[in-house]
Amino acid sequence: MVLPTTAEAMEAAARERMSAVAYAFYASGSFAEVSVVENVTAWSRWHVRPRMGMDVRTIDISTTILGTRIELPVFLAPCGFNKLAHDDGEFGVARACAAEGTVQVLSSATALLPEEVAKVTDAPKWFQLYADNDSGVTDERVARAEAAGFQAVVITVDTPALGIRYQGLADFEAFLQELQGKEIVAPILTFCERLDWAELERIASTTKLPVVLKGVLHPDDARLAPEHGASAVIVSNHGGRQMDGSIPPALALPDVVEAADGRIEVYVDGGVRTGVDVLRALALGARAVLVGRPYLWALAIDGEAGVRELLVRFKGEFRNAMALAGQTDAGSVDPSIVVRAT
């Protein structure tokens, strides 16, 4: 056990092990960086009202996401350039996920070929897609991910342009050098400004894989998603790196769940730091949560083993939170156990 126990201490320990440029890239947000902070604090706006008098000898903390069983309702958000955090990089993260029974969503922002990562373990994994303005390029990426054995395509929809990140990319030249120093030859990232619902529907039609839309905050988009071929949405504001000042995922979640109306699965990402946050998300209707920065910090601190330890910790914390709340099934958490703090 080497990870510090508080989120702040974990970030501080990771920071010591990374270059200033890499840390800034991961830690920063866009514009005035309001959302980076609000994402975390917003979870505490939901007070938990645990139930007592429940037999909790048997608690099932596993669940399924699009039919794939995961051993805890936490999986790993797509984060770019994992080697900036630690040499174990994406391969190490893949092994940690496989060992602990959860899904890695491989970011497109990596120099690795999807086939390479797919080979590392037999565990199910998902592919994060940045669509291209050129549909042909997009289709090739999807086809390649499908061929490599990925089991879902997570289309990032909140990135028609890169959010303005004054702090995170203040010295872009130094950032590129940092990538090179880690032998990361970054693929040229193209943001898709024309990624409308028609194109999303078209992409979905080109693959047998289920399509997940990452970056939904508005309930109307949750209504449109299933009508255009999506099987799930991720409530997310991209870790506060795109639209700063956006509604924190913890607060956007209920409206999205209501709008989804059970037709698609809903996940959430942003500011989840403890097993209690996971419990809150599930009580609010999310099927599972994704974590981003926490696994980057764990990776920086102890490589693959750090990521495993983080996942083990989430298992322990979530199981504990379930027991304390009188809940026994991650798949059917009682909605009445959370109330808005006023």
Q: What's the gap between Cα 35 and its chain centre?
A: 16
CA–CA dist 201, 199 (Å, integer):
5
- The nearer residue to a copy of itself, 71 or 255, going by C-beta atoms, is 255
Which residue of the set 86, 218, 228, 238 is catalytic? 238
Considering the complex, state which of residue 180 and residue 205 has its C-beta at the smaller distance from a copy of itself.
Answer: 205
Structure tokens that stand for 324 in this block? 């304390």
Handedness of CA 72, 73, 74, 76 (dihedral sign): positive
Helix (H) or strand (E) holding 46: strand 46-48
CB of 146 to a copy of itself, least distance (A): 22
Q: How many CB atoms lie within 10 A of CB 107?
A: 24
Q: Which is closer to a copy of itself, CB of 17 or CB of 202? A: 202
Nearer to a copy of itself, 149 or 197 (CB): 197
The whole-angstrom separation of Cα 288 and Cα 17 is 30
Closest to a copy of itself by CB, 4 or 149: 4
Q: How far is CA 38 from the centre of its chain?
A: 17
Q: Is-contact 74 102, C-beta < 8 A?
A: yes
Report which secondary-structure segment, H or E, holds 68: strand 68-70
> How is residue 326 annotated by DSSP?
T
Q: Which residues contact 48 (CB under 8 A, 6 or more apart)?
A: 276, 279, 280, 283, 325, 337, 338
Question: How far does CA 140 lie from the centroid of its chain?
Answer: 24
Tell me whether residue 316 or residue 331 sits nearer to a copy of itself (CB atom).
316
Task: Determine whether 228 is an active site residue.
Answer: no
The DSSP output letter for 155 is E
Instruction: Work out how close the CB of 241 gets to a copy of itself at its nearest, in angstroms, rounded to a whole number.
Output: 10
| Other Cβ atoms within 10 Å of 77 Cβ, number | 26
Asked whether the beta carbons of 84 and 90 are under 8 A apart, the reply is no
Shortest distance, position 128 Cβ to a copy of itself, whole Å:
15
DSSP for 171-183, written as a single string: THHHHHHHHHHTT
What amino acid positions are annotated as catalytic residues? Answer: 238
